[in-house]
Amino acid sequence: MAVGLVFLATLPFHANPYLLFVGNLAMLYIVLTVGLNLLIGYTGMLAFQNAALFGVGAYGCAVLRVTLGLPYWLSLPAGGLIAMIVGVLVALPALRLTGLYLALATVAFAQFTLWVFLHWYSVTGGPAGIQMHPVDFGVLASTAEYGLYYLTMAIMLAVVALTWNLVRSRIGRAFVAIRESEVAAEALAIDLTRYKTIAYAISALYAGVAGGLFAAMLGIVVPESYDLFQVIAQFAMVVVGGIGSVWGAVIGAVGLIWVQEALRAFKEFQEIAFGGMILLTVLFLRGGAMSLIKRHIKGWDEPLRRIPRKR
Amino acid sequence: MSKLVTRNLSMTFGGLVALDGVDLDVPEGEIRGVIGPNGAGKTTLLNAITGVNQPTDGEVLLDGEVISGLKASRIAARGLARTFQTSQLFAGMTVLENVMTGLHARMGTSPLAAAFGLPSVWREEEDATEKAMSALDFVGMQQFADRDGGELSFGQQRVVEIARALVREPRVLLLDEPAVGLSMTRVSELDALLRRIREERGVTIVMIEHVIRLVMGVCDRITVLSSGRKIAEGTADEVTQNPEVIEAYLGRELDA
Ligand SMILES: Nc1ncnc2c1ncn2[C@@H]1O[C@H](COP(=O)(O)OP(=O)(O)OP(=O)(O)O)[C@@H](O)[C@H]1O
Ligand SMILES: [Mg+2]
């Protein structure tokens, strides 16, 4: 892990611009996937609105920055907050849905959002999207790419650490209790509405912030980034990495970004590869990559409590 | 003093009357048995009391306060704990974490405090670990603390479920067929455990049970349901001699 961190931190000094781009992309997908895993993996909500909320964060950030002239350090968190608010608004009707109906309703929401991105010309610029000038990091970084890379890295590390803490508390246990049995959770005085809303809100916030980072990285926000493929890509990362595991989300994001980049020249194969990997994982490796690690690294434990037990 | 009271508690599913005006009055410290043939409405009674299903008529009082109409998590927070007919131990969590989840409402950590791992969170987690271990100790399951909830045998899961309910320090404990699938020696252990729960923890118990030996041995009084109605109530001797009860069980031995 320490080696990985050093590698990440020094990447800008020994990598070409393309590799830097891929590293940056992988890190912001870690933010996305860790959030989505809280909702799908820990709380057990089969919900797919995060691809759209990723877009809401990107557009929110771009509109505030380009149209209203806010600095990036304000428009980035604001985009995250907007996504969180939209996420909670989606959660309100979705709270009563589970399983297939929840999946259908949230995919429909993602499609609707895409339609809004495409057609609300005055705000989103329609199919052409919104161009964003590079972020100026001033004295902090020599180029926008370097600055953005380290900003993404800082946010990614913070998100992983905060989430890792969160799941090892009564909050994480409440999430898993809801996933395993809603009636039993309620019988333990766990308020379903409250904890589901918390899970929706956090995953929406992460998706929105990742969207703002994505917008700055590409320098443009266009609707097709947030289409059905985005839904499948994020879902695949959660499933292939390992449902209900923070580290699984990290592995899933990095692994699938690697696959996506390896297949960059053939977009249709990306979709087939992601779909196929979901299928193979569901059929042969239920716990995803994480279950292999649990099996082969002795003493690996991902507890839902803070205090380690002495054996 | 009455601990748990139901008045005219009724529950219909579509056209089916599953519970038909049941009056229950369980005094503090009692172990009450609820028996009845399959489909009599025993589980429905528990679900109506705990708010899993909102009763279509009647009310439930805990220590004289109306709790019916509240949502299930609020009712649980008032001090009702229960186990389920089919084990609802959480898989993907260790036994210890399962019991710690029982402490949810007794803990105060907010999502932000948890995420930042504040010192108060550490202290609370430490305290919860200790309480959960002592609850496991109480039911004799501490050596399984680190096993996954889904790995235990059916009988072991039931006992851990009792620990998870007990750790909440409930006023009333409702058990839905806790002896199902237990061997005879295990049933005797359960008998002793129930008595200790009452004596040492002062918890009032309502237990649905088909294992007549357990019901007759440990319950102070027994309520008999049939087709959603209460047809008899009294001590073991009283109900077993009641002609209506014998009729309801037609062909089933009561003194097995
Ligand atoms: N949620 C529900 N929806 C529709 N009908 C239900 C529901 N719950 C219970 N019933 C019906 O109510 C009746 C009573 O069921 P209940 O589960 O309370 O019986 P029981 O006494 O617990 O039986 P058993 O000994 O088999 O557990 C049954 O006819 C059952 O089919
Ligand atoms: Mg039943």
Q: What is the pLDDT of residues B90-147, one digit of tens each?
A: 999 999 999 999 999 999 999 999 999 999 999 999 999 999 999 999 999 999 999 9
Report if residue A184 sits inside a domain: yes
| A279 within domain boundaries | no
Average pLDDT, chain A: 91
Let me know if residue A54 belongs to a domain. Answer: yes
Please tell me the distance from the alpha carbon of residue A229 to that of residue A274, in angstroms, as a whole number. Answer: 9
- pLDDT, one tens digit per residue, over B191-223 is 999 999 999 999 999 999 988 888 889 999 999
Q: Is residue A241 part of a domain?
A: no
Q: Tell me whether residue A304 is in a domain.
A: no
Q: What is the three-class DSSP state of B229?
A: strand
Domain span at residue B188 reads 2-255
Neighbour count for residue A146 (Cβ, 10 Å): 15
CA B210 to ligand 1: nearest atom: 25
> Distance, in angstroms, between A178 CA and closest chain B CA?
9
> Is residue A103 assigned to a domain?
yes
Rounded-to-5 percentages of helix, strand, coil across chain A: 75, 0, 20
3-class state of residue B38 by DSSP: coil
CA of A143, closest CA in chain B: separation in Å?
Answer: 32
> How many separate domains does chain B show?
1
Short-list B43, B76, B52, CA closest to B62: B76
Ligand 1 touching residue B42 (CB < 6 A) = yes
Q: Which is more confidently placed, B133 or B252? A: B133
Q: Are B164 and B99 in contact (CB under 8 A)?
A: yes
Q: Which residues of A touch B73 (CB under 8 A)?
A: 185-186, 189-192
**Partners of residue B145 in chain A, C-beta under 8 Å:** 309
* Selection from A34, A27, A7, A26 nearest residue A290 by Cα: A34
Give the SS3 label for residue A121.
helix
Closest Cα to atom 26 of ligand 1: B38
Q: Token digits for B141? A: 């399951």
ipTM of the complex: 0.93
Q: What domain range is A73 assigned to?
A: 24-228
Cβ–Cβ under 8 Å, residues A73 and A140: no
The finding on whether B252 has its CB within 6 A of some atom of ligand 1 is no
Task: Give the pLDDT score at B254.
Answer: 52
CATH assignment at residue B108: 3.40.50.300
Q: How many domains does chain A have?
A: 1
- Determine the distance separating the centroid of ligand 2 and the alpha carbon of B82, expressed in angstroms: 13
* Closest C-alpha to A293, from A256, A250, A262: A250
How much is the pTM?
0.94
Q: Is the CB of B131 under 6 A from ligand 1?
A: no
Residues listed for chain A: 311
Distance B46 CA to ligand 1 centre (A): 11
Our measurement of the distance from residue A97's CA atom to the centroid of its chain's CA atoms, rounded to an integer in Å, reads 22
B7 vs B23: CA distance, rounded Å: 5
Report the candidate in A301, A247, A165, A246 with the shortest Cα–Cα distance to residue A1.
A247
DSSP-derived secondary structure letter, B94: B
The confidence band for B252, taking pLDDT boundaries of 50, 70 and 90, is low
Tokens representing A99 are 């399983």
